[in-house]
Amino acid sequence: MPPVEAQVRATKDRKAAPDFSLKDENGKTVKLSDYRGKVVLLNFWATWCGPCKVEIPWFMEFEQQYKDKGFAVLGVAMDDEGWQAVKPYLAERKVNYRVLMGNDSVTQLYGGVDSLPTTFVIDKDGRIASAHVGLVGKNEYAGEIQALLNGGKQTVAAGHAPLSGADALLASAAK
Amino acid sequence: MTPTEALTAHRGATVAQTLTVTVKPGYHVNSDKPKDEYIIPLKLTWTGGTLDTKATIYPKAEEIQVNGQALTVFTGTFPIQTEFQVEPNATPGTVTVNGKLKYQACNNEMCLRPVTVDIPLQVTIQ
């Protein structure tokens, strides 16, 4: 993998990632704080989201490559149909990282999450080191993960202006 | 969303109503018949009043490639036509038919969560 510049916030500028409790596909309750001490890639996604589909193989690769180095991917699925839609999707793709079922209470903690994918990279102390709305390059994530696993101190936060689903239609009119 | 215009129909007649939808530049909404089973289709439904929905006619979808995925979508401004059948014994007067348009929009980098918007339609039955 080519070296890339990490796009993580300076340690002093990082805010605590809000803790939450959600269930995984086995019904086990998982807290974000259970992962304290690890670098976490927290990815809000949905089965109907095309750009999310692009990222999943990358995240599987990261999970495989860095899981023994203090790293974990946590997916938070935002499908209204719940596990009925998500379980087959995960099985088809043989997703190797833990996925939790999201809800609006949790997304509110993270600024609403109107657009998917929305991804937060969280440092070992449970602070948000970077936030991305939309599809981001694989190397960008890899660089951030590597920087945080190595105690990275780079700056420059990334992000796109979010939009809500209701904003996508300019107008509709019946005649 | 702009208010819908009232429709006038005779008892027992078939009437057509066109909903015009405009999507913001750079975005697309999934068509009514997406290729992937997980993708949320555009869907217009109507309930209430004394009108039966005979047919909902969506335009021909565009086929596009986004991040290596083949999609069928609508962009820009497009019409959705609904044909209503007014019941022969409908009571003359004004009724409200409640439309719901469900859509899910994306651009090349992100998707917005699905939204359902209400479309109240006033129908005067003569």
| Residue A108, H or E segment | helix A104-109
Query: Where do the H-state alpha helices sit in A30-94?
Result: 50-66, 83-93
Out of A89, A165, A175, the one facing B18 most closely (by C-beta) is A175
Confidence at residue A20, expressed as pLDDT on a 0 to 100 scale: 98
B118 within some domain: no
Could you tell me if B101 and B84 are in contact, meaning their C-beta atoms sit under 8 angstroms apart?
A: no
Whether residues B106 and A167 touch (CB distance < 8 A) is answered with no
CA A15 to CA B26: how far, in whole Å? 33
**What local confidence, expressed as pLDDT, does residue B23 receive?**
96
Q: What is the DSSP string of B49-89?
A: TTEEEEEEEPPPPEEEEETTEEEEEE-SEEEEEEEEEE-TT
Q: Do B4 and A173 touch (CB under 8 A)?
A: yes
Predicted confidence at residue A7, as pLDDT, reads 73
CA B62 to the chain's CA centroid: 17
For an interface test with A, give the residue of B111, B115, B121 to mutate (most A CBs within 10 A): B111
B119 occurs within a structural domain: no
For A69, the domain range is 11-16+35-161
Q: Does B92 map to a domain?
A: yes
Does B15 touch chain A if contact means CB atoms closer than 8 Å? Answer: no
Residue listed under structure tokens 């005979």: B54
Domain assignment present for A46: yes
CATH number, domain containing residue A119: 3.40.30.10
Asked whether the ipTM of the predicted complex exceeds the cut of 0.90, the reply is no
Distance CA(B38)–CA(A58), nearest Å, equals: 20
Distance CA A173, CA B119 (A): 9
Residue A172 lies in a domain: no
- Cβ–Cβ gap A160/B104 under 8 Å: no
Per-residue pLDDT of chain A (175 residues; tens, 9 = 90+): 444 445 788 888 899 999 999 999 999 999 999 999 999 999 999 999 999 999 999 999 999 999 999 999 999 999 999 999 999 999 999 999 999 999 999 999 999 999 999 999 999 999 999 999 999 999 999 999 999 999 754 444 444 444 556 666 654 544 4
The verdict on B2 touching A (C-beta cutoff 8 Å) is: yes
Separation in Å, CA B73 to CA A169, B27, B47, B52, B112: 14, 10, 26, 27, 14
Asked whether the bond before A18 is cis by omega within 30 degrees of 0, the reply is no
Indicate whether A140 belongs to any domain.
yes
A5 part of a folded domain: no
> Is B29 in Cβ contact with A160 (below 8 Å)?
no
Amino acid letter for position A92:
E
Is residue B37 assigned to a domain?
yes
B48 three-state secondary structure: coil
Place of tokens 């903690």: A109
Q: Is A46 exposed, middle or buried (0-12, 13-18, 19+ CB in 10 A)?
A: buried
Looking at the structure of chain B, the number of domains it has is 1
Q: Which residue ranges in chain B fall short of pLDDT 50?
A: 1-3
Residue in B42, B89, B108 with CA at minimum distance from that of residue A135: B108
How many A×B Cβ pairs under 8 Å?
Answer: 123
CATH code, domain carrying B64? 2.60.40.1250
Coil vs helix vs strand at B37:
coil
Half-sphere exposure of A38 (CA within 13 A, CB side): 17
What pTM, to 2 d.p., does this model score?
A: 0.87
Our count of domains for chain A comes to 1
Q: Do A16 and A129 contact (CB within 8 A), yes or no?
A: no
CA of B95 vs chain A CAs: smallest distance (Å): 16
In this prediction, residue A173 carries a pLDDT of: 46
Name chain A contacts of B115, Cβ cutoff 8 Å: 164-166, 168
**A148 belongs to a structural domain:** yes
Show residues of chain B in contact with A54, CB under 8 Å: 67-69
Q: With an 8 Å Cβ cutoff, are A175 and B5 in contact? A: yes
List chain B residues with CB under 8 Å of A114.
Answer: 112-113
Q: Given this model, what pLDDT does residue A165 score?
A: 60
Cβ-nearest to A116 among B68, B71, B111: B111
Range of the domain at B95: 7-113
A175: chain B residues, CB-CB within 8 Å: 5, 17-18, 20
CB atoms within 10 A of CB B42: 22
Read off the tokens for A125.
């102390």
Predicted local confidence at residue A163, as pLDDT: 52
B119 and A172 within 8 Å at the Cβ level: the answer is yes
